[in-house]
Amino acid sequence: MSEHTESSASLRLFAALPLPRELRDALAGWSRDKLRKTFPMEKWVHPEDYHLTLKFLGGTPADRMPAVREALALVAAGTAPFGLALDGLGTFGRPGLPAVLWAGVRAAERSGTGAWSGLADRRRQAAASGGGPDANGRAQPSGSAQPSGSAQPSGSAPPSAPAPLARLAEAVEAALVPLGYPAEPRAYRPHVTLARRWSAPHAPDRALLAAPPPAALSAPWAADRLVLYRSRLGQAPMYEPLAEFLFGNRDSG
């Protein structure tokens, strides 16, 4: 586990899955070159802030941080890497005035031989040696107090969470309930927030949401860690990683 020393009296925290560097770069390019021309949103998420929220903790006293880190480390130690891929666009809010533009996520099967843990190990080794992209990410919405994954849809809903991702979110929540973080009563609908607040006088063309993404955004990746983030309102990137927990690592925490 890697961590950042924090002395603030209260921290606004959430746990999330980061997106791999190469996926963040591809998503940022698509957003810049295509989506911004198609969807006139007021605020676009900083590429370093893309993530999949697992649990929003909110304001947390600094003296509770060791217990939070220990709980997340235990969850990560008992989790094996699994495959995910982005899966289309959607919005939250009124259909004629979307509040959020998001990308969904689906389960991904490993092509060829080998498990997701093998791909995750190779990515970690490449990142450690400086020979390839890392698997870290920071988090998400620039200009928003609530991380991606915690908003609830009133427009089009993201698909249900892939089974391994749903189990991980449930495990994170169960580990944090004893620390005073209440369980979320609403269904977990994972998504990556891309932009906020529709700014055009006309309603969006819903058919545009069905436009196929570039091939690079459909490529599967190995989810191999969870990260504890702090929200820094008004800054860009907005989310700062405080601690990282590798899946299957019994020494974390």
What is residue 67's predicted lDDT score, i.e. its pLDDT? 97
What Rg, from alpha-carbon coordinates, does the chain have? Answer: 18
What is residue 87's predicted lDDT score, i.e. its pLDDT? 87
SS3 74: helix
Cβ partners under 8 Å of residue 46, min gap 6: 140, 142, 236, 237, 238
What is residue 58's predicted lDDT score, i.e. its pLDDT? 92
| pLDDT band at residue 205 using 50, 70 and 90 as cut-offs | confident
What is residue 9's predicted lDDT score, i.e. its pLDDT? 67
Contact assessment for residue 27 and residue 192, using Cβ atoms and an 8 Å cutoff: yes
Give the percent of the chain with pLDDT over 90. Answer: 48
Contact assessment for residue 236 and residue 225, using Cβ atoms and an 8 Å cutoff: no
Helix (H) or strand (E) holding 18: strand 10-18
Summarize pLDDT for 115-156 with one digit per residue, the tens.
555 444 545 544 444 443 333 332 333 333 445 444 444 455
What is residue 115's predicted lDDT score, i.e. its pLDDT? 59
How many Å separate Cα 49 from the centre of its chain?
8
Helix (H) or strand (E) holding 157: none
Mean pLDDT across the chain, nearest whole number?
A: 80
What is residue 213's predicted lDDT score, i.e. its pLDDT? 81
| pLDDT band at residue 207 using 50, 70 and 90 as cut-offs | confident
Summarize pLDDT for 71-106 with one digit per residue, the tens.
999 999 999 999 999 988 888 888 778 889 899 999
Summarize pLDDT for 169-178 with one digit per residue, the tens.
999 999 999 9
Strands 2-3 and 221-223: unpaired
Summarize pLDDT for 23-75 with one digit per residue, the tens.
999 999 999 988 888 888 889 999 999 999 999 999 999 999 999 999 999 99
